[in-house]
């Protein structure tokens, strides 16, 4: 099965050099192959300076293209949403969010999600699989390749500069895929993206957050959504296992890069977590020295059970926090016209059944 073979998107240079040498082929070819790979060229047939016998060897030895692009949608604001199919036939989604100075790719880490936050479209989908490191990295490489083939309009950045693990799935519940993909994305011989440009978003699996901080101290975003345990138990059910007190301790020790902070994501749901007592609970919870709040507008999806707080009240919620010494911003939603915004990603029709 191709999925059990080493995958070109995530293989290290030394590993590839060893494989090539074992075959009696010239070792310097490994570096050339890596250069193609890092540009997003994964099909050996498109690797111009690689001779035919090595292209064939690559195809026979590695899983070169773990993802097939099945569909692509472009938003009016430049956002692109990709539907990729895995060798198993399962689908995942990836989003590119271009701005004038940066291009951010939002990667998926699982097919579906192991958790089931009630406001999240992905959470309504059955958990099907963890993505391998190769499948996570391949999402980034495929976007790079798409940008080369179909350049971005001029006022927007032309390449991938930033990465967020905020697509489908809970990255901390796929620790192996997360860590191994970060190894390639951050390494010098890989895409060499700085830890300051990578953000992992999690609903709050505290042991895994600590592990991540020790191994790959990238930026951290926490899906907080409430600073009241009884409320968060419902909105983010992992809170039952790792309540706010445990999360607090964990956040206090997470390593931060210079002048960086932890982002606390807070989705505002009308009449649910946008009340005066929610502000007070946040004030008690947040450490303003190390943390900032990012207020998120609720992105509806078909049959979603909530409605978002109206804009005016979102703004006054933000102002209220700011007046109490907490840094809070309202996130601009992108790609909503193509259902590419946070929490709208869903790749199949398999729905969780509630008992």
| Residues with catalytic function | 93, 342
Quickly count: other Cβ atoms within 10 Å of residue 325's Cβ: 9
Please check whether residue 119 is in contact with residue 303, taking contact to mean a CB–CB distance below 8 angstroms: no
Burial of 200 (0-12, 13-18, 19+ CB in 10 A): buried
Sole window of 59-67, 113-121, 243-251, 309-317 interacting with ligand SF4 (rule: CB under 6 A): 113-121
Sole window of 71-79, 111-119, 211-219, 254-262 interacting with ligand SF4 (rule: CB under 6 A): 111-119
d(Cα 307, Cα 41) in Å, to the nearest integer? 42
Which of ligand SF4, ligand SAH, none is residue 116 near (CB under 5 to 8 Å by kind)? ligand SF4
Which residue number, 137 or 166, has a Cβ lying nearer to ligand SAH?
166
d(Cα 138, Cα 341) in Å, to the nearest integer? 21
Q: Give the residue from 189, 188, 197, 190 showing the smallest Cα distance to 163.
A: 197
Q: Which residue is nearest to ligand SF4 (CB)?
A: 123
Sole window of 24-32, 78-86, 114-122, 207-215 interacting with ligand SAH (rule: CB under 6 A): 114-122
Q: Give the residue from 229, 329, 227 showing the smallest Cα distance to 275.
A: 227
Contacts of 109 (CB under 8 A, 6+ apart): 130, 131, 136, 165, 167, 168, 169, 170, 171, 174, 177, 178
The answer to whether residue 120 forms part of the interface with ligand SF4 (CB under 6 A) is yes
Sole window of 40-48, 78-86, 108-116, 290-298 interacting with ligand SF4 (rule: CB under 6 A): 108-116
Q: Residues of 21-52 as b/e, b for ≥16 C-beta within 10 angstroms?
A: eeeebeeebbeebbebbbebbbebeebeebee
The answer to whether residue 122 forms part of the interface with ligand SF4 (CB under 6 A) is yes
Answer for which of 64, 67, 117, 281 binds ligand SF4 (CB under 6 A) is 117
The answer to whether residue 130 forms part of the interface with ligand SF4 (CB under 6 A) is no
Matching residue, tokens 């899906």: 223
Number of residues interacting with ligand SF4: please give it, by CB under 6 A.
11
Which residue number, 6 or 234, has a Cβ lying nearer to ligand SAH?
234
Give the bridge partners for 328, in sequence order: 293
Site map for ligand SF4, 61-100, x if CB under 6 A? ----------------------------------------
The answer to whether residue 204 forms part of the interface with ligand SF4 (CB under 6 A) is no
The answer to whether residue 128 forms part of the interface with ligand SF4 (CB under 6 A) is no
Which residue number, 156 or 168, has a Cβ lying nearer to ligand SF4?
168
Give the bridge partners for 68, in sequence order: 85
The answer to whether residue 339 forms part of the interface with ligand SF4 (CB under 6 A) is no
Answer for which of 132, 181, 273, 299 binds ligand SAH (CB under 6 A) is 299
State the residues that interact with ligand SF4 by CB under 6 A. Answer: 113, 115-117, 120, 122-123, 169-170, 203, 223
């Amino acid at each position: 099965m191709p999925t059990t073979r080493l995958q070109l998107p995530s293989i290290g240079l030394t590993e590839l050099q060893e494989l090539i040498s074992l075959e009696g082929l010239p070792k310097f070819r490994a570096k050339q192959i890596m250069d193609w790979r890092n540009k997003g060229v994964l099909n050996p047939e498109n690797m111009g300076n690689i001779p035919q016998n090595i292209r064939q060897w690559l195809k026979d030895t590695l899983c070169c293209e773990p993802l097939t692009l099945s569909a692509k949608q472009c938003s009016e604001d430049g956002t692109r949403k990709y539907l990729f199919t895995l060798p198993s036939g399962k689908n995942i989604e990836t989003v590119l969010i271009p701005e004038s100075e940066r291009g951010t790719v939002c990667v998926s880490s699982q097919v579906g999600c192991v958790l089931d936050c009630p406001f999240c479209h992905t959470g309504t989908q059955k958990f099907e699989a963890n993505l391998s490191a190769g499948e996570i990295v391949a999402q980034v490489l495929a976007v790079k390749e798409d940008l080369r083939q179909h350049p971005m309009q001029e006022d927007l950045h032309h390449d991938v500069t930033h990465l967020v693990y905020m697509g489908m799935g809970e990255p901390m519940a796929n620790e192996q895929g997360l860590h191994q993909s970060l190894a390639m994305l951050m390494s010098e011989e890989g895409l060499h993206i700085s830890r300051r440009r990578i953000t992992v978003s999690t609903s709050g699996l505290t042991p895994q957050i600590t592990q991540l901080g020790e191994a790959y101290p990238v930026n951290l975003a926490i899906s907080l959504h409430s600073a009241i345990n009884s409320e968060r138990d419902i909105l983010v059910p992992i809170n039952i296992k790792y309540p706010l007190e445990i999360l607090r301790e964990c956040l206090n020790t997470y390593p931060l890069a210079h002048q960086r902070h932890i982002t606390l994501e807070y989705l505002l749901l009308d009449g649910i977590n946008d009340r005066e007592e929610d502000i007070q609970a946040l004030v008690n919870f947040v450490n303003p020295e190390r943390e900032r709040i990012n207020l998120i507008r609720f992105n509806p999806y078909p049959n979603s059970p909530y409605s978002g707080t109206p804009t005016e009240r979102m703004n006054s919620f933000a102002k209220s926090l700011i007046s109490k010494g907490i840094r809070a911003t309202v996130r601009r939603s992108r790609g909503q016209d193509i259902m590419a915004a946070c929490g709208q990603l869903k790749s199949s029709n398999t729905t969780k059944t509630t008992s």
